[in-house]
Structure 1
Amino acid sequence: MEAIPTAAAASDALAQLERSRAQWSLLDALLRRLVTRLTYAADGRGPALDAALATIRRQVREPVGEAELEPLLTELGEAIKALDEPEAAGGRAPDPLPFTESLSVGQMLLALVDRLKLGDEALDRLEALRQTISDSTDPGTLAVQAEAIATLVNRQCERLTEARDAAERLLKHVTEQLEELAVYLAREDMSHRDGASAREQLDQEVLGEIRELESEVASACELGALQTQVQQRLGAISGHLKNFRQREDAREREWQARTEQMSQRIRELERSAQAMETSLRQERALASTDPLTGVANRLVFEQHIADACLRAARSGAQSSLLVLDIDRFKQINDNFGHAAGDRALRIVAEQLRAGLRSDDLLARYGGEEFVVVLAGVGAEAALRAAESLRRRIESLGFHGQQRPVRITLSCGVTVLRADDSPESAFERADSALYRAKRGGRNRCELA
């Protein structure tokens, strides 16, 4: 008679199954990454094979069933068979690209396009380039797109050169205004000295006349002659005072004119400085903002997560990282167009930002993927925040071509550790995101 399993034995069995499931999940994630990298290595050997590999890359990110794998394997086998029979096709099989070249051509162009921040006026052009590059495996087409990217970058460089020239012109203008101010101050100093000298001269002249008058009074013999001499001295003093007043009036008018001129120059300088400050603020915002969604860009996130890792290592400061990905976003683009996809990204970004604290960082990582850094938040609170964001997006009333479209997202959550690097923290959160995808999407997983 077989023994009935005890509760402890059942518990051990469940624990073993859970460990096995976790090991298989990890192996599944590693195999998916390996498949993705192998498909990159085989790029460039033929249009049919490249198309099959691109399909496989798209599929391995999402959970794939046996029924979906079978046609993929058949398509891949036919593409490989076509490469093995080049003569029958009336041609020669193309030389395989080296691994580094096959990896760099399409994918590096896409990565470059995602990192370009060229302003709102270039959004449509960048999206068109992104779509063309994604859909193309032809080296000639990719070369044309690379040239188009170079043209856009050159235009941005020209705009930056113009901005630099404008800054140089402003600097020159400011320098000239400061030189005028220095001349004005020097003239004011000289005018002040001239005024002091004129007052001293007046004092000496009046004092001299008074002394002469005292001497004449002391030596005067007749009253009539004394009156005449007093009148002459008083007239001379009056003349000195009149001349002094005229010189002071002229100096005052000159001072007022110079002061008004300098006030006008200072107002011009203030306006120029304010214009430059506004321009610099706009340039800083452009350099740190994703132009499509208006949230922070990947560069800001990389700086922010590096600082958070440094704080965790130095003082044990707690922070959490969320990696969020819109589920089945490609279907929105395919079914409703890229304009609808862009609108969905903007709405999702707006709702995510509304659901976060003011000191939390929200950034667009690339494509349909967003990242959030929560300062001072542990595992449980971070998972609650992620669930709140997930429910917020799930409840959106989004429409594409006047039809309701359900938008959901999956999220991976991790808490930064003292020994974390930005890469290790992101890798952990990204693995949790993959588990959420495999678990049925529209869910959050804690690493």
Structure 2
Amino acid sequence: MASSQAITRLLQQLLKRSYRQNQAIDKYQFKFLKKLQSASTAEDEIQLFDEYSQQLENTPYTIEEKLSEGKLVARQSQVQLRQIESLSEAVKNKIGEMQNAPEPYTIAEHHSSLSALIKIYQHAVIELNKSCSPSEVDTKADISFINDELQLLILELDVGQDFVKKLEKVRIDISNDPDPFQLPQYCLQIINIIIDSTREERRTSRHFLYTLNDSLTQFYLNFAQTLKLSEEDFEKQKETNKLIQEGADKLQENSQHQTLEELQSSISDYVSNVKAAMALQEEQQEEKFRTKFQSMVRQIKELQNETQSYQKTLKQQNKQLHIDFLTKIPNRAAWSERLKTEVTRYKRYKTPLNLAVIDIDNFKSINDRFGHLAGDKVLNVIAQTLQKSIRNADYIARYGGEEFALLLPEISPTQTELALNKLRDRIKSIPFQFKQEHLSITISVGFSAFTPSDESDDAFERADTALYQAKRQGKDQVLQLTKNEKKVER
């Protein structure tokens, strides 16, 4: 008993430290602890532990993925901040300290690191506001920046298929409307669409659960009724057997006073009556069970069809969540999952794995000169060209904005460079035309090969740095950065 109390106290402390990681688990663990404290036998405790283990197995664990993604975003933010030339040395030094600091391990350390980064952003905003007077603010540039960010946000939103066209209409309206006072109205429209999509998804899920519950309830009632009928038939069988036994006793009693002919006649009548009674009972039972069985089979099939339909809907929704709305290729969420899989395979089988980051050169000037719809067309055409030009084993995704990420497994860095240069030449040869003007659009590419000690973000950071070098050295080129090469300060 003492050991059970000690285990309970230990569990309370452990569960307290895992609090606020999953709302469903948090609600469940209170019930679990309450049941555990009131458990009277070791078997009850084991059953509770098994139930809790099953609950944990059915709950996705996404903390590692989120922390890794947050760490990568934080690093990119630090690099982007250091590119702002007008920032003071004090702010730049703080950014440098963050970049040189040990990587956070615990969730608290991650939170502290992000808080420090937010404070640096606050200082940067204050300095930038002080460094420019109202007369120097380029209102047009501000509006263009907000429009760009808002449109990118729309493209990254995951909503139901019925609401995609509504979002696309809002996005087109934003790109064609220079009035800054309309931006809040557009934001409100986007929020309403997101809310409506969420409500529709929730309504669909609730409807399925209600239907499933009704089907299961009806199935249970029919099964209970079948059991009841079986009991009734059993009682009738007992009555029939009793009548048969009484007939046999009477036949035995009368046989002592009957002649042989009378006894034969009595036995014949008795056998005929028994056969008739058994045939009638068997026919009634068969008809009842046939009817009930057919009903139960029909309900099981209906339940199975409903479940399969809902599973199909869930698969379609999951697929939509991993496809970029504009380019129709995998998005950043899908990239994170595939990257994790490929890194695991690389570490297990030791086969080569290369990671490339691709960026469209001078993309902002295309939006500025020809409009955002032209920019969307460029993104779409380049994404589809890249998708069709890679091997089946390769994997490409839209990482954000005009940037793409590409995995190239099972080839050497030399082969990777050749393949990436072919992609670059193919993109360069696409004949774009906007407003009677012919354009040749280029891409810059940075890549790096994984090493055994690498984590996924290490290789990505090297590839991103190589991309920056390619941009700085004139664009329209492919550059590699190995683990031992010195990183260029941005």
Do they fold alike, i.e. is TM over 0.5? yes
Residue type matched to 1:49 in 2? V
Q: Which runs of 5+ in 1 are unaligned?
A: 1-28, 59-104
Partner in structure 2 of residue 361 of structure 1: 395
2:328 is equivalent to residue 294 of structure 1: yes
Deviations 1:165-201 (A, max 9, x none): 3212212221222232233333444444555555555
Contact 1:206/1:237, CA 8 A, preserved across alignment: no
Q: C-alpha separation between the residues in 2 aligned to 1:199 and 1:330?
A: 87
Q: 1:124 aligns with which of 156, 160, 168?
A: 168
Partner in structure 2 of residue 145 of structure 1: 183
Q: C-alpha separation between the residues in 1 aligned to 2:80 and 2:209?
A: 56
Partner in structure 2 of residue 324 of structure 1: 358
2:84 is equivalent to residue 34 of structure 1: yes
Q: Which runs of 5+ in 2 are unaligned?
A: 1-78, 89-123, 482-490
More displaced stretch, 197-206 vs 427-436: 197-206
2:254 is equivalent to residue 216 of structure 1: yes
2:391 is equivalent to residue 341 of structure 1: no
Distance 1:203 1:359, change over 3 A: farther
**Aligned-pair CA distance for 1:52:** 9.1
Q: C-alpha separation between the residues in 2 aligned to 1:30 and 1:293?
A: 25
Residue type matched to 1:391 in 2? D
Instruction: State the secondary structure of the residue aligned to 1:412.
Output: strand
Taking only aligned residues, the RMSD between alpha carbons, in angstroms, comes to 4.0
Distance 1:327 1:238, change over 3 A: same
Deviations 1:62-105 (A, max 9, x none): xxxxxxxxxxxxxxxxxxxxxxxxxxxxxxxxxxxxxxxxxxx8
Structure with more relative contact order (C-alpha pairs < 8 Å, separation 6 or more): 1
Deviations 1:179-227 (A, max 9, x none): 322333334444445555555554554354345334433432x46xx53
Distance 1:123 1:151, change over 3 A: closer
Q: C-alpha separation between the residues in 2 aligned to 1:36 and 1:377?
A: 43
**Aligned-pair CA distance for 1:411:** 0.9
Partner in structure 1 of residue 44 of structure 2: none
Instruction: State the secondary structure of the residue aligned to 2:290.
Output: helix
Q: C-alpha separation between the residues in 2 aligned to 1:231 and 1:37?
A: 120
Distance 1:158 1:317, change over 3 A: farther
More displaced stretch, 266-275 vs 192-201: 192-201
Residue type matched to 1:445 in 2? L
Contact 2:355/2:449, CA 8 A, preserved across alignment: yes
Residue type matched to 1:177 in 2? S
Q: C-alpha separation between the residues in 2 aligned to 1:301 and 1:418?
A: 21
Contact 1:396/1:407, CA 8 A, preserved across alignment: yes
Distance 1:374 1:235, change over 3 A: same
Q: 1:388 aligns with which of 422, 425, 439?
A: 422
2:221 is equivalent to residue 183 of structure 1: yes
Identity of aligned residues (%): 24
Distance 1:403 1:52, change over 3 A: closer
Instruction: State the secondary structure of the residue aligned to 2:190.
Output: helix
2:207 is equivalent to residue 166 of structure 1: no
Q: C-alpha separation between the residues in 2 aligned to 1:332 and 1:54?
A: 17
Deviations 1:111-153 (A, max 9, x none): 64454333532452453476479x78x6xx4xx5355335423
Instruction: State the secondary structure of the residue aligned to 2:137.
Output: helix
Residue type matched to 1:181 in 2? F
Distance 1:173 1:110, change over 3 A: closer
Q: C-alpha separation between the residues in 1 aligned to 2:81 and 2:288?
A: 86
Q: How does 1:224-373 map to 2 (within 5 A)?
A: 227=262, 231=265, 234-235=268-269, 237-305=271-339, 318-373=352-407
Residue type matched to 1:35 in 2? E
Q: C-alpha separation between the residues in 2 aligned to 1:321 and 1:34?
A: 27
Partner in structure 2 of residue 85 of structure 1: none
Q: C-alpha separation between the residues in 2 aligned to 1:186 and 1:396?
A: 69
**Aligned-pair CA distance for 1:363:** 1.0
TM (norm. structure 2) is: 0.61
Q: C-alpha separation between the residues in 1 aligned to 2:336 and 2:436?
A: 38
**Aligned-pair CA distance for 1:291:** 0.6
Contact 2:446/2:470, CA 8 A, preserved across alignment: yes
**Aligned-pair CA distance for 1:316:** 6.4
TM (norm. structure 1) is: 0.66
Residue type matched to 1:117 in 2? D
More displaced stretch, 240-249 vs 345-354: 240-249
